[in-house]
């Protein structure tokens, strides 16, 4: 009997690859997501996308905006499926207080970077992040290219 029912054995459901390019990621948090039944079924089928998501704080609670979970074609007709509804994030009070303080007083953004399975639960990896300026992005690209070139040189010299 296999441990994972999902076809993706790593547990990763969706990634936000642009987040590392657009932001300096600092503090990491793991949050649960309040989902409806049809959403869990769609996630199991691989129909989730978090590429343009962000987290807002409203009334002392965190909500995920912009996540797209497309309903299955065989979804029940009595359920109204909204693929882009705001979803409540489940965090501890101390974590919420830290997120609220950093976003309101220090100007941080809260960015979702990954959605994954943790046992049978869907979890969201979020970071406190500062936005990068265009020259910071160029520096990041330049550093990545240099690391790639350096590894090629070392690999070639090892032969």
Please indicate, yes or no, if residue 159 is contained in any of the structural domains: no
Please indicate, yes or no, if residue 150 is contained in any of the structural domains: no
Please indicate, yes or no, if residue 29 is contained in any of the structural domains: yes
**Domain limits for position 52:** 12-132
- The stretches of the chain forming alpha helices (DSSP H) are 18-22, 37-44, 93-105, 134-158
pLDDT tier for residue 76 given thresholds of 50, 70 and 90: low
pLDDT given at position 57:
92
Please indicate, yes or no, if residue 155 is contained in any of the structural domains: no
pLDDT at 144 over 90: no
Contact call for residues 126 and 111 (beta carbons, < 8 A)? yes
Burial, 51: exposed, middle or buried (Cβ in 10 Å; 0-12, 13-18, 19+)? middle
| Percentage of the chain modeled with pLDDT above 70 | 91
Please indicate, yes or no, if residue 137 is contained in any of the structural domains: no
Total Cβ atoms within 10 A of residue 140: 14
Please indicate, yes or no, if residue 138 is contained in any of the structural domains: no
| Total domain count, the chain | 1
**CATH number for the domain that contains residue 46:** 2.40.280.10
pTM for the model? 0.74
Buried residues in 82-99 as b, exposed as e (16+ CB within 10 A) = eeeeebebbbeeebbeeb
Tell me the three state secondary structure of residue 120: coil
pLDDT tens readout for residues 30-66? 999 999 888 888 899 888 999 888 899 999 899 999 8
């Amino acid at each position: 009997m296999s441990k994972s029912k999902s076809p993706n054995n790593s547990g990763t459901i969706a990634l936000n690859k642009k987040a590392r390019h657009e932001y300096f990621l600092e503090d990491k948090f793991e949050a649960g997501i309040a989902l409806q039944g049809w959403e869990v079924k769609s996630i199991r089928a691989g129909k989730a996308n978090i590429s343009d998501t962000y987290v807002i704080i409203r009334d002392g609670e965190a909500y995920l905006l912009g996540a797209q979970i497309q309903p299955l074609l065989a979804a029940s007709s009595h359920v109204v499926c909204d693929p882009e509804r705001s979803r409540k994030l489940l965090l501890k009070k101390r974590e919420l207080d830290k997120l609220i303080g950093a976003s309101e007083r220090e100007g941080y953004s809260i960015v979702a970077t990954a959605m994954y399975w943790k046992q049978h639960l869907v979890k969201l990896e979020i970071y406190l992040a500062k936005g990068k300026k265009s020259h910071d992005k160029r520096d990041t690209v330049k550093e990545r290219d240099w690391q790639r070139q350096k590894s090629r040189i070392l690999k070639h010299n090892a032969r």
